[in-house]
Amino acid sequence: QYFLKRIADLDPQLNSYITVSEQQALQQAAAADALIQSGQGSSLAGIPIAHKDLFCTQGTLTTCGSKMLNNFIPPYESTVTSRIQQAGAVMLGKTNMDEFAMGSSNENSFYGAVKNPWNTDTVPGGSSGGSAAAIAAGLAIAATGTDTGGSIRQPASFCGITGLKPTYGRVSRFGMIAYASSLDQGGPMAKSAEDCAHLLQAMAGFDEKDSTSSETATEDYIGNLNAPLTGLKIGLPKEYFGDGLDPKIADTIMAAVKEFEALGATVKEVSLPNLKLSIPSYYVIAPSEASSNLSRFDGVRFGHRCDDPKDLLDMYMRTRAEGFGEEVQKRIMVGTYALSEGYYDAYYLKAQKIRRLIKDDFTSALSEVDVIMGPVAPTTAFNIGSKTNDPVAMYLEDIYTLSVNLAGIPAMSVPAGFVDGMPVGLQIMGNYFAEAKLLNIAHQYQ
Ligand code: GLN
User: 119 and 381 in contact (C-beta within 8 Å)?
Assistant: yes
As a dihedral over the C-alpha atoms of residue 26, residue 27, residue 28, residue 32, rounded to 10 degrees, the angle is: 100
- The per-residue pLDDT for 287 is 98
- Average pLDDT score over residue span 161-173: 98
Compute, in angstroms, the gap from residue 185 CA to the centroid of ligand 1.
11
Topology classification of domain 2-203: Amidase signature (AS) enzymes (3.90.1300)
Query: Does ligand 1 lie within 6 Å of residue 185's CB atom?
Result: no
- Mean pLDDT computed over 414-418: 98
Q: How confident is the model at residue 40 (pLDDT cuts 50, 70, 90)?
A: confident
Mean pLDDT across 354-370 = 98
- For the question of residue 127 being annotated catalytic, the response is yes
Distance CA 87, CA 344 (A): 45
What pLDDT is stored for residue 283 in this prediction?
95
Rounded Cα distance between 331 and 284, Å, is 9
Q: What is the mean pLDDT of residues 395-407?
A: 95
Residues in CB range of 68: below 8 A, 6 or more apart? 297, 303, 304, 320, 323, 324
Please give the distance, rounded to the nearest whole angstrom, from the Cα atom of residue 266 to the centre of ligand 1.
33
Which residue minimizes the CA distance to atom 10 of ligand 1?
A: 102
Choose, from 82, 105, 109, 127, the residue flagged as catalytic: 127
107 lines ligand 1 (CB under 6 A): no
328, pLDDT greater than 90 = yes
Separation of CA 32 and ligand 1 centre (Å): 35
| Catalytic residue list contains 367 | no
At 183 the three-state DSSP class reads coil
Residue 77 Cβ < 6 Å to ligand 1: no
Confidence at residue 393, expressed as pLDDT on a 0 to 100 scale = 85
* Residue 104 Cβ < 6 Å to ligand 1: yes
Ligand 1 pocket member 172 (CB < 6 A): no
Task: Express each pLDDT in 261-274 by its tens digit.
Answer: 999 999 999 999 99
Active-site entry in 16, 66, 82, 151: 151
Regarding the beta carbon of 101 and ligand 1, being less than 6 Å apart is answered yes
Any atom of ligand 1 within 6 Å of the Cβ of 398: yes
Give the Cα separation of 301 and 179 in Å (integer): 19
Give the mutation target among 53, 97, 148, 427 for probing the ligand 1 site: most ligand atoms within 8 A of CB. 148
Residue 408 CA to residue 431 CA, distance in Å, equals: 9
Mean pLDDT value across residues 80-100? 97
pLDDT of residue 42: 87
105 CA from centroid of ligand 1 (Å): 9
CB half-sphere exposure, 21, CA atoms < 13 A: 22
What is residue 87's three-state secondary structure?
A: coil
With a 6 A CB cut-off, is 106 part of the ligand 1 pocket? Answer: no
Q: What pLDDT is attached to residue 161?
A: 98
DSSP letter assigned to residue 381 = P
Whether ligand 1 lies within 6 angstroms of the CB of 103 is answered as yes
Asked whether residue 76 carries a pLDDT value surpassing 90, the answer given is: yes
Spatial contact of 73 and 61, defined as CB atoms under 8 Å apart: yes
Give Cβ neighbours of residue 77 (< 8 Å, ≥ 6 apart): 56, 57, 58, 85, 175
Phi/psi class of residue 67: alpha, beta or left (left: φ > 0; alpha: ψ in -120 to 50)? alpha
Residue 288 has pLDDT above 90, yes or no: yes
Domain segments of the chain: what residues? 2-203
Closest alpha carbon to 202 in 186, 182, 179, 225? 186
Give the Å distance between the CA of 148 and the centre of ligand 1. 6
Does the pTM exceed 0.90?
yes
Mean pLDDT confidence for 399-422: 98
**310 belongs to the catalytic site:** no
How many angstroms separate the Cα of 384 from the Cα of each of 65, 206, 264, 421?
Answer: 18, 39, 41, 17
Distance 12 CA to ligand 1 centre (A): 25
| Nearest 10 degrees: Cα torsion 443, 403, 103, 288 | -140
Which residue among 154, 289, 398, 399 is best mutated to probe the pocket of ligand 1, counting the most ligand atoms within 8 A of its Cβ? 398
Average pLDDT value over all residues in the chain: 97
Report the candidate in 156, 65, 157, 67 with the shortest Cα–Cα distance to residue 102: 65
By the 8 A CB rule, do 416 and 425 touch?
yes
Q: Residue 41's pLDDT is what?
A: 79
pLDDT digits (tens, 9 = 90+) for 184-229: 999 999 999 999 999 999 999 999 999 999 999 999 999 999 999 9
